[in-house]
Amino acid sequence: MNLASASVTVGTGPLLFSDVTAVARRDAPVVLATDALDGVAATRRIIDGLAQDVHPHYGISTGFGALATTFIESDRRAQLQASLVRSHAAGSGPEVEREVVRALMLLRLSTLMTGRTGVRPVVAETYAALLNAGITPVVHEYGSLGCSGDLAPLAHCALAVMGEGRVRDAAGTLMGGASALAAAGITPVVLAEKEGLALINGTDGMLGMLVLALADLSRLLTTADVAAAMSVEALLGTDAAYAADLQALRPQLGQAQSAANLRRLLAGSPLLASHAGPDDPTVQDAYSMRCAPQVHGAARDTMDHAASVASHELASAVDNPVVTLDGRVQSNGNFHGAPVGYVLDFLAIVAADVASMSERRTDRHLDASRNKGLPPFLAQEVGVDSGLMIAQYTAAGIVSELKRLAVPASVDSIPSSAMQEDHVSMGWAAARKLRHSIDGLGRVLAIEVMTAARSLDLRAPLVPGPAIGAVRDLVRTVADGPGHDRFLSPEIEAIVGLVATGAVRDAAERLTGPLA
């Protein structure tokens, strides 16, 4: 069975990171655990009982937010729930990527299946049916303050469950929610007490983007080690600073992993051997090479912390109010996105700094005063050709943008809902900018890989070690070697693709074995 067809079971327990990426990116089908559905039904009976109570209960027989003290008669409550969803589906701007919406929907479904939200089983079943039919609600870039969770993005998804709003079908065709559900044989849900609220209160959008970002950064940080190793070889650097005993003097976990990667990537390098020994003039490489394990390692440690936060959030039942295990319906603040927002911002800092170090290595390749005998800008005919001069400009421009994106969103807060929601997380905004940061990091690394590959070719007849040679050979399948100036943009984009798919990392690992 291939990965695309392997199903993901949603029950009362937490989803795995791999579950989220499988559904979001590979359209893995979703299966609902029968015992969890039984629990959903049992909790719903508590809500049905409270709906008959003459005393108001928030989210069941009252308004919402600043209107939480307004009692709503039973014959108006279906309208109340539908009105809640319609009014909160107030997003604006470009459409959010399909994978983000699918991750968001899966995570909301996971919370529904905990039995802590009070919805009927049919709500969870319909949510799963939309995912399995490939129906993706149109969610917009702007609208979420990250508290109470991602209200507007989730409301656009809830509209689709009601057979309203706009969606894209499995083929990507834009259409009305009613038409899409009818074509898929899915009956729209008429929301009952508590259900509209349960569908829109959660950190699912920002969490989904965090999980996807962690998958991407895991690949990119290993690729950063590969790119750094290519530069060390091509710039006639030394691997002496990566020795295990030196690294052990500062026992940071990520640093040790990155240094180990570099040692394996550089093993058996004729280029390094060509200038090794007591006469080696390279006493100390520049920081962008010598300190790569320290920077890439700190990035790994930050990513591990973010993964810990994401794991805890995947195990959460985020709604307001919730139905507790002992049957209370209790308001709470678990929808606040601060834990997720903070680490999303941390990762944007990581992306900016790793990219900054990569761009500095790229620049060294092009500077004849620092590249140890290579032509200026790696040009074929100096003065006539510009070589890779402007490729470095592109990397520098991206790095400058990444520094702006590293300014944290989570330190901002703007009050809403008549001061009831007087402190918000801005976690959605942190997640959105992190996606741009990750894209930029991949592009900067691709430019370093392209530049280092050309430098390696110019060192002939000296050759790189097996792992780095394999990466250089991969680059040559999509980009020509040294020569007169040519149209560079297509080559850059092709190498960006190799980085994004993991092909650069994979080419090295076929020689080194799995890298950390």
CA distance linking residue 97 with residue 99, whole number of Å:
6
Pairs from 46-50 (Cβ < 8 Å, separation ≥ 24): 46/118, 46/323, 46/327, 46/329, 47/118, 47/193, 47/194, 47/323, 47/329, 48/193, 50/329
Instruction: Identify whether 127 is a catalytic site residue.
Output: no
Radius of gyration of the chain (CA): 26
CA distance linking residue 167 with residue 283, whole number of Å:
61
CA distance linking residue 445 with residue 495, whole number of Å:
9
Structure tokens at 243: 């020795």
Contact criterion met (CB below 8 Å) for 322 and 116: yes
Instruction: For the beta carbon of residue 482, count every other beta carbon within 10 angstroms.
Output: 18
Structure tokens at 369: 């005063």
Strand 322-323 to strand 329-330: parallel, antiparallel, or no bridges (unpaired)? antiparallel
Q: Where is 85: in which H helix or E strand?
A: helix 77-88
CA distance linking residue 164 with residue 162, whole number of Å:
5
CA distance linking residue 196 with residue 98, whole number of Å:
23
Write down the number of H helices and E strands in the chain: 20, 9
- Mention every residue, 6+ apart, whose C-beta is less than 8 A from residue 303: 214, 217, 218, 221, 347, 350
First to last CA, the chain: 27
| Helix%, strand%, coil% for the chain, nearest 5 | 60, 5, 35
Structure tokens at 445: 């690394």
Side-chain half-sphere exposure of 197, counting CA atoms within 13 A: 27
Report the residue count for the chain.
Answer: 516
CA distance linking residue 186 with residue 148, whole number of Å:
29
Contact criterion met (CB below 8 Å) for 8 and 113: no
Cα-based torsion angle of the residue sequence 413, 416, 422, 425 in order, rounded to the nearest 10 degrees: -40
CA distance linking residue 138 with residue 1, whole number of Å:
31
Query: Could you identify the residue written with the tokens 């928030």?
Result: 58
* Beta strand segments in 247-358, E: 322-323, 329-330
Residues with catalytic annotation?
Answer: 58
